[in-house]
Amino acid sequence: MSINIPDTNQKRVVVIGAGFAGLSFAKKLAKQDVQIVLIDKNNYHQFQPLFYQVAMAGLEPSSISFPLRKLFQGKKNVYIRVTELLHLDRKKQEITTDLGVLHYDALVIATGVDSNYFGNEELAQKTIPMKSVSEALYLRNAILTDYEQALVTPDYEERQGLIDIVIVGGGPTGVEVAGALAEMKKYILPKDYAELDNQEVDIYLVQGASCLLKGMSENSSEGAKRFLEKLDVKIMLNTRVVGYDGKFVSMKDGSKIRSNKVIWAAGVKGVKIPGMDDTMYNRSCRMLTDEQCKVIGTKNVFALGDIAAIQTEALPYGHPQLAQVAIQQGKFLSKHLFKILEGQCSSTFKYKDLGSMATIGRNRAVVDLPHFKFKGFFAWLVWLFVHLFSILGVKNKVMVFINWIWNYFTYDQSLRLIIKAKNPKKDQQEA
C-alpha cells in the first residue's frame, strides 16, 4: 500500500514531525523546487511552552495549536499526511507508516522526545505527563473533577488526596506549573469553590537536584525558589520519587505524600525508531549526528531538535533541548541540505544562544540572556512578549493576548470547563 504521493521530477524530502524543528525546516525548504512530505500524528502544530496554561484553564487548546494545512496553503509542493513512522529501511530509502510505504531522497527526523520515567513502570502508568495538548486537557479535567468531588467529601484525608497536587521535576515546566497552580489556589478557588478551604490545598514541587532550573543561572534558580515560596509552594530539593500507587507518592528516603494527582516533569528521552541501529543513539536515546545534522552512519538521514545530539568536546551531551535550538537547526538544514547531500558543504551548525526564561505566576519571571540576567516584573513582560511573538497565526496571537489581559486585570480565567470526549455509538451499544 502506498501513501499516495505523486511521483515528480523533484527530489522528495520526507519530514517526520511538525514541532519547532520540523516546521522551521519545512517552511524554509518549501520555497525551493523540491517535494516535501510532512508527516505527523496530529494535523496541527502544538506550541509546547504554553501547555501548562491549557492545563491550568488559562488558555483554550485552539489558542496554542495551528492547523498544518492552513500553514502550507498555496504550497503545491508540500504534502501533509497524518500518520506515524513505524519502520525505516535505509537501504531501500523507504519508510513504513500505518498508511503505507513511502520512498525518500532525504529523510529528516524531528520527532521530539517523550517523558523519561527512568525505567519505573509504575510511575509511567500512574503519573500525568504534559507533552501534548491532549495530555494538558486531561490534566485540566482531572484537577477540576477532583475539586468538584472534594466539595462532597467530608473525610479530611480523602479530601486532601483530591485537592493536593505533586509536581515531580524542577525544570522550567515544573516551575511554571507550580506557579500557575499556586495562583489558581490563591485567586480562583475562593471564587469558584468557596465551600473549600483553599488553605487546605498543598502544592508540592519535588526536585532530585539541589536547585531549581538546573540549566539556568544561580540568580534565576534562587529567584524562582523565592517566588514559589512566596506563593506557598512546598519545595522539596534533593528528593527522589521512587513510586506512586495512585494515592501515595513514595520518596527514596521513605517519606510519602498523599495525592491523587502527580504531574511528571522530571526528564525526557528519545524514542528509538525500528530500523535505526542502537549505535546511532546516545544514553538519552537522542540520535547522534555530525555538525551538519546528518545522523552518524547514514548518507541522507538527518535529525533535528530535541531528538538530535551533536556531541562535541564543548557539548558532550549535545545542545540543550530548547525551542531555539530546534528552530535554528531547521533553518540551517533547509539552507544547506542539497549541498550536504552532494558533499559540497563546508558549513556546520552553530547555535546562537538567545537566552532562556521561566515564568512563576503573574508579575514574576526569571530571564537569562547571554550577557544579562534579571528577574521580576520586567522579566515577566519579556517572557510574555517572546512567547506571544512565537505563537503561529495572527488570530492565535490575538486570542492569547486578550486572555492574558483579561486574566491580569480580573484575576479570573472563565475557561474552567470539564470537557470529556464521549462516543455516542458506544453509549448506544451499552444502553
Same domain, 47 and 84: yes
Same domain, 255 and 126: yes
What are the two backbone dihedrals, phi and then psi, of residue 318, each rounded to the nearest 5 degrees? Answer: 90, 175
Helix intervals (H) in 184-243: 189-192, 218-230
* 40 within domain boundaries: yes
Same domain, 252 and 141: yes
pLDDT at 393 exceeding the cut of 70: yes
Residue 162 structural domain = 121-266
4 vs 168, more confident = 168
Question: What mean pLDDT is predicted for residues 250-264?
Answer: 96
Among 309, 341, 373, the domain-final residue is: 341
Indicate which residues carry an active-site annotation.
176
Same domain, 129 and 141: yes
* 430 within domain boundaries: no
Predicted TM-score (pTM) of the model is 0.91
* 175 within domain boundaries: yes
* 260 within domain boundaries: yes
To the nearest 10°, the Cα dihedral for 167, 171, 175, 181? -30
* 171 within domain boundaries: yes
Among 235, 266, 297, the domain-final residue is: 266
Give me the number of domains the chain comprises.
2
Residues 262-295 have pLDDT tens digits of: 999 998 999 999 999 999 999 899 999 999 999 9
Same domain, 223 and 135: yes
pLDDT at 360 exceeding the cut of 90: yes
Location of C-alpha cell 470529556: 420
* 219 within domain boundaries: yes
d(CA 357, CA 103): 41
For the chain, the C-alpha Rg in angstroms (whole number) is: 23
d(CA 225, CA 235): 8
pLDDT of residue 141: 92
Same domain, 103 and 133: no
Same domain, 207 and 229: yes
Q: Is the dihedral of CA 390, 393, 396, 400 positive or negative?
A: positive
pLDDT of residue 431: 45
pLDDT at 65 exceeding the cut of 50: yes
* 71 within domain boundaries: yes
d(CA 161, CA 151): 13
* 65 within domain boundaries: yes
Q: How many residues would you count in the chain?
A: 431
Average pLDDT for the chain: 92
Among 240, 266, 292, the domain-final residue is: 266
Same domain, 90 and 36: yes
What are the two backbone dihedrals, phi and then psi, of residue 382, each rounded to the nearest 5 degrees? Answer: -65, -45
pLDDT at 199 exceeding the cut of 60: yes
Same domain, 90 and 20: yes
Q: Is the dihedral of CA 65, 70, 72, 77 positive or negative?
A: positive
Percent of the chain with pLDDT over 90: 79
Same domain, 132 and 257: yes
Same domain, 189 and 136: yes
Q: What is the CATH number of the domain that holds 241?
A: 3.50.50.100
Q: What is the CATH number of the domain that holds 290?
A: 3.50.50.60
Same domain, 37 and 149: no
